DNA sequence: AAGTGGTCTAGACCACTCA
DNA sequence: GAGTGGTCTAGACCACTTA
């Protein structure tokens, strides 16, 4: 009798479930379709709801599913490609089919990690501009842009001390600088409360954190910390001269 | 009486736990130190073990903790910066303090997504080279490099049909091509079984998937799909001419 | 008000590491 | 073999959306 490798490697149930569901999504479901609810699915597969949820969580992490409390679980569309490597997509002023929307502005001390990148002493206040990025009219990123006060001197005349008007004023001043180049890093994080609200997600949901340093006039002109929805986004970097990675 | 916003927003327990633990990690623990075990921690905070684990999972996702079955939970070192944007760090031949190690080579049909990027018909076999990337003698990435057979013609003479020798032969042939440029995308994924083993992680653990297209002689010369450990890595992209984002 | 996903509990057993 | 984290169960209640 051919030993058909039965239980040599006892695969976890949720892992096997994930495989089964992935295949089902590929073959039997259309984008946007609603899946049966969790209690029903768990019963159908003969597992506890917590186990089923473990499989669903992974599928959501991989961008295959979208779950919304009070609504249900739907099949997610393919991830959208979001360009982050090109200057024109982040340096203020770039405006295309998808672009940034200034939300607010404050003047306060940045996190120590940001202060270090800006070569500033801890506790020194900077202009902190909050922006939202939308693609296909869906919010994909929440950003905090930190600008040392010395880099935008012409700002005293602006009457609004905070708010979107102030944010736009800071961005306008920034554009007067000639950009030398930039630096980026991507890492995994979890959404803080404010970012989560902006992204229409629950706090703690996985995000891709893109930290960008902008250089101008021989120093670091600004630092941006942008959090992208990890479930819906694929970040693209590329030679703009070359054919685009399919989005 | 000042309404001190008591329970207007009933924060989930695991979320609050995460905050408390984060502060404790910052102030009371050193890198590498072992935390009390999960049952003990849960008892100490007066929550069920599952709830505690939800907090620990998020902290591990954020790279603050490292958990190993049979061993315990330790405080993780800061993430290492791994350069992925520069050609010399991925195009075969680049060798520095951290570099790639050829593991194996097969000739088989790639996933359909890769076939599409290579402009190949579905089912057409390509050279599939598996490599591992190490930094500070720790595995950080597992890569599959797909090379259409037509792009490395001088390969018939190699005796080894598979294995590391064959992999090195393919890479050597690739180096003869002059690279025009490349294209990259980063997204969140979960480690498949083989990658997980290579990265010394459990299957399903979160990874950053970097897809790179290499262009040479007017066409796509190769496609690389590299999965980086999301818990330990920060991927860096940058103008090589500029000061480095602290690693 | 009904139905959904999100949180939480108090247990149990398993796979793994290491002395 | 003792101790760790990983998996799994069968419940309960809550927050949210929609009708």
Q: Which residue numbers in chain B have pLDDT < 50?
A: 1-8
Q: Which of B65, B85, B62 is nearest to B73 (CA)?
A: B65
* Domain layout of chain A by residue ranges: 13-75, 80-236
pLDDT given for residue B63 in this prediction = 95
Mark yes or no for CB contact A237/B189 under 8 Å.
Answer: no
Q: Decide: helix, strand or coil at residue B241.
A: coil
Q: How far apart are CA A68 and CA B72, in angstroms?
A: 34
Do the strands B126-135 and A138-148 form a parallel or antiparallel pair, or are they unpaired? Answer: unpaired
Which of A81, A189, A246 has the CB atom closest to B62's CB atom?
A189
| pLDDT class of A9 with cuts at 50, 70, 90 | low
pLDDT given for residue B175 in this prediction = 86
- Element of type H or E holding A173: helix A163-175
Which of A185, A215, A231 has the CB atom closest to B242's CB atom?
A215
Mean pLDDT, residues A199-216 taken together: 92
pLDDT given for residue A241 in this prediction = 65
A2 touches strand C (CB under 7 A): no
Q: How far apart are CA B161 and CA B105, in angstroms?
A: 8
Q: What is the dihedral of CA B83, B84, B88, B90, to 10 degrees?
A: 130
User: What phi and psi, each to the nearest 5 degrees, are found at residue A20?
Assistant: -60, -45
Mark yes or no for CB contact A116/B184 under 8 Å.
Answer: no
| pLDDT class of A179 with cuts at 50, 70, 90 | confident
Q: How far apart are CA A185 and CA A224, in angstroms?
A: 11
Query: Which nucleotides of strand D come closer than 7 angstroms to any CB of the protein?
Result: 2-12, 14-18
pLDDT given for residue B4 in this prediction = 36
Mean pLDDT, residues A99-107 taken together: 89
Q: Decide: helix, strand or coil at residue B4.
A: coil
Mark yes or no for CB contact A236/B183 under 8 Å.
Answer: yes
pLDDT over 70, % of chain A: 87
Per the structure, the residue whose CA is closest to nucleotide C3 at C1' is: A70
Distance A55 CA to C5 C1' (A): 14
pLDDT over 90, % of chain A: 60
Task: Of A156-170, A191-205, B39-53, B82-96, give the lowest mean pLDDT range.
Answer: B82-96
pLDDT given for residue A238 in this prediction = 79
Q: What is the pTM of this model?
A: 0.91
Q: Decide: helix, strand or coil at residue A172.
A: helix
pLDDT at A3 over 60: no
Residues of B at the A interface, defined by Cβ within 8 angstroms: 15, 18, 58, 61-63, 79, 81, 85, 116-117, 180-190, 203-204, 206, 208, 211, 213, 215, 230-231, 233-239, 241-246
Highest mean pLDDT among A48-52, A181-185, A196-200, B146-150: A48-52
Residues 2-41 on chain A lying near strand D, CB distance under 7 A: 12-15
pLDDT given for residue B247 in this prediction = 55
Q: How far is B239 from chain A (nearest CA, A)?
A: 6
Distance B116 CA to C9 C1' (A): 49
Please give the span between the terminal C-alpha atoms of chain B, in angstroms, as a whole number. 49
Residues of A at the B interface, defined by Cβ within 8 angstroms: 15, 18, 58, 61-63, 79, 81, 85, 116-117, 180-190, 203-204, 206, 208, 211, 213, 215, 230-231, 233-239, 241-246
pLDDT given for residue B30 in this prediction = 94
pLDDT given for residue A4 in this prediction = 37
Q: How far apart are CA A238 and CA A177, in angstroms?
A: 24
- Overall CATH class of domain A13-75: mainly alpha
Distance B37 CA to C8 C1' (A): 20
pLDDT given for residue A5 in this prediction = 40
pLDDT given for residue A135 in this prediction = 85
pLDDT given for residue A57 in this prediction = 96
Distance B37 CA to D1 C1' (A): 18
Task: Of A7-21, A51-65, B26-40, give the lowest mean pLDDT range.
Answer: A7-21
Site from B17, B82, B116, B188 to mutate, A interface, most A CB atoms within 10 angstroms:
B188
Mark yes or no for CB contact A235/B63 under 8 Å.
Answer: no
Q: List, in order, residues 6 or more apart from A154 with CB less than 8 Å away.
A: A173, A176
Q: List, in order, residues 6 or more apart from B239 with CB less than 8 Å away.
A: A181, A182, A183
Mean pLDDT, residues A111-126 taken together: 91
On average, the pLDDT of chain A sits at 87
Task: Of A86-95, A152-161, A228-237, give the lowest mean pLDDT range.
Answer: A86-95
Q: Could you tell me the CATH superfamily of domain A80-236?
A: Chorismate lyase-like (3.40.1410.10)
């Amino acid at each position: 009798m051919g030993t058909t490798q039965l239980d040599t490697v006892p695969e976890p149930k949720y892992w096997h479930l994930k495989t089964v569901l992935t295949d089902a999504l590929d073959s039997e479901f259309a984008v946007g379709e609603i899946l049966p609810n969790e209690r029903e699915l768990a019963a159908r597969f003969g597992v506890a709801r917590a186990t089923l949820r473990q499989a669903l969580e992974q599928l959501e992490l991989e961008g295959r599913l979208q779950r919304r409390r009070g609504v249900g679980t739907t099949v997610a569309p393919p991830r959208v490609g979001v360009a982050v490597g090109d200057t024109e997509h982040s340096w203020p002023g770039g405006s295309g089919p998808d672009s940034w929307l200034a939300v607010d502005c404050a003047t306060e001390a940045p996190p120590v990690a940001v202060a270090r990148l800006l070569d500033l002493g801890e506790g020194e206040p900077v202009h902190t501009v909050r922006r939202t990025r939308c693609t296909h009219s869906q919010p994909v990123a929440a950003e905090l842009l930190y600008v040392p006060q010395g880099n935008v001197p012409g700002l005293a005349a602006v009457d609004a001390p905070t708010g979107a008007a102030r944010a736009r004023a800071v961005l306008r001043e920034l554009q007067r600088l000639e950009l030398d180049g930039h630096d980026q890093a991507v890492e995994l994080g979890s959404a803080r409360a404010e970012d989560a609200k902006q992204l229409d997600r629950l706090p703690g949901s996985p995000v891709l954190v893109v930290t960008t340093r902008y250089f101008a006039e021989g120093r670091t002109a600004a630092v941006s910390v942008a959090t992208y929805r990890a479930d819906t986004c694929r970040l693209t970097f590329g030679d703009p001269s070359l054919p685009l990675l399919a989005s």
